[in-house]
């Protein structure tokens, strides 16, 4: 597993990392503490040294608490990232709150849950329209200066917001959605990050499971499955996506890997991409996606993927960019 620089810091992170949203259990039925802790500990065996979580991953910080329990005395072997600026209110709704005081309180609570005195990377999870971005950035800079985080990142922002944030606080990392079918950051944010030495750690590399190749044409999503509301899982868009995955499956089989591993490999070798955040709630899931590292698709295989994507056409994902 290759370790890559986290922006201009001296921190290095694995090219495949564990996204710790699923273990929070909010949108992942069937989670349990035993499997979640085993999944985190499996990372040591796979060479994965980076865990990505957030203050709001879980109604009561379940994700952060599980990480704290799983790492124990091995905390210093992991690069831990968490995020602030979003929380759940008493009615169970997600609320933006990136006021300096809120960010400081959330950071303090996150450290307690994680059983550590600092995190390695602290993100602004999302901008708050009620709070000037420079105020949020300024507080994260102060938290870094005080040693509560080693570096600062920002997620879910535009290119202009990246620029504005960086004017107030050094940015080590940017975290956007990115995958074969969501490539908007290639137009502006990815070039900006390359120019300014900012690491890019992407979420949804498998596009909510679509690009893992395990959703059958006749699969019926449960009433509680949020994917039911997105165009990419409906009608003609879904049909086009299945046809794309069939073509990817052929290339993956020739390469001796699964569709998920092919997709991860394509992602982590895109210019400017530092790492892919891969969610998992059981050890075998992160074992499979970790297999997306340590090899390279051939130029011929990459050309075939490009043709397949071009023929698939611009998707209507219904997801934020």
In 3D, which of 303, 275, 302 has the Cα closest to residue 289?
A: 275
Beta bridge partners of 52: 19, 81
Q: Report the C-alpha gap between 116 and 177 in whole angstroms.
A: 28
Q: Report the C-alpha gap between 197 and 191 in whole angstroms.
A: 10
b/e per residue, 82-92, with b = 16+ CB within 10 A? bbbbbbbeeee
Task: Calculate Rg over the CA atoms of the chain.
Answer: 19
- State yes or no: is 230 an active-site residue: no
Beta bridge partners of 153: 123, 173
For tokens 């957030």, the residue is 54
Tell me the CA distances in angstroms from 39 to 26, 208, 282, 297, one per residue in order.
17, 19, 5, 27
Please answer whether residues 277 and 205 qualify as being in contact, where contact means their C-beta atoms are separated by less than 8 angstroms: yes
φ/ψ bin of 78: left (φ > 0), alpha (ψ from -120 to 50), beta (otherwise):
beta
CA 318 from chain center: how many Å?
Answer: 18
Beta bridge partners of 26: none
Q: What six digits make up the tokens of 123?
A: 């993100």
Q: Report the C-alpha gap between 81 and 288 in whole angstroms.
A: 22
Q: Report the C-alpha gap between 154 and 167 in whole angstroms.
A: 13
- The catalytically annotated residue of 55, 57, 178, 230 is 57
DSSP state of 83: E
Residue 303: is it exposed, middle or buried by C-beta count within 10 angstroms (0-12/13-18/19+)? exposed
Active site residues: 57
């Amino acid at each position: 597993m290759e370790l890559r620089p986290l922006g201009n810091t001296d921190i290095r992170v694995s090219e495949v990392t564990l996204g710790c949203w699923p273990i929070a259990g909010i949108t992942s039925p069937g989670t349990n503490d035993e499997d979640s802790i085993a999944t985190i500990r499996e990372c040591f065996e796979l060479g994965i040294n980076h865990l990505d979580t957030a203050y709001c991953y879980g109604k009561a910080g379940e994700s952060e608490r599980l990480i704290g329990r799983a790492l124990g005395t091995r905390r210093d072997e992991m690069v831990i990232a968490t995020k602030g600026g979003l929380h759940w209110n008493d009615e169970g709704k997600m609320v933006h709150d990136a006021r300096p005081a809120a960010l400081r309180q959330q950071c303090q609570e996150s450290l307690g849950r994680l059983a550590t005195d600092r995190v390695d990377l602290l993100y602004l999870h999302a901008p708050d329209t009620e709070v000037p971005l420079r105020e949020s950035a300024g507080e994260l800079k102060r938290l870094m200066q005080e040693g509560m985080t080693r570096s600062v990142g920002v997620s879910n922002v535009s290119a202009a917001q990246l620029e504005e944030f960086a004017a107030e606080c050094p940015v080590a990392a940017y975290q956007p959605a990115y995958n074969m079918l969501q490539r908007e950051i290639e137009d502006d944010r990815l070039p900006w990050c390359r120019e300014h030495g900012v690491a890019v750690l992407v979420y949804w590399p498998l596009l909510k499971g679509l690009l893992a190749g395990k959703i059958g044409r006749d699969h019926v999503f449960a009433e509680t499955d949020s994917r039911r509301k997105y165009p990419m899982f409906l009608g003609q868009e879904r049909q086009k996506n299945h046809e794309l995955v069939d073509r990817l499956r052929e290339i993956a089989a020739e390469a001796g890997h699964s569709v998920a591993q092919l997709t991860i490999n394509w992602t982590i070798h895109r210019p400017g991409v530092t790492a892919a955040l891969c969610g998992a709630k059981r050890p075998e899931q992160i074992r499979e996606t970790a297999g997306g590292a340590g090899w390279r698709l051939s130029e011929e295989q990459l050309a075939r993927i490009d043709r397949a994507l071009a023929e698939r056409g611009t998707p209507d994902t219904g997801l934020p960019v």
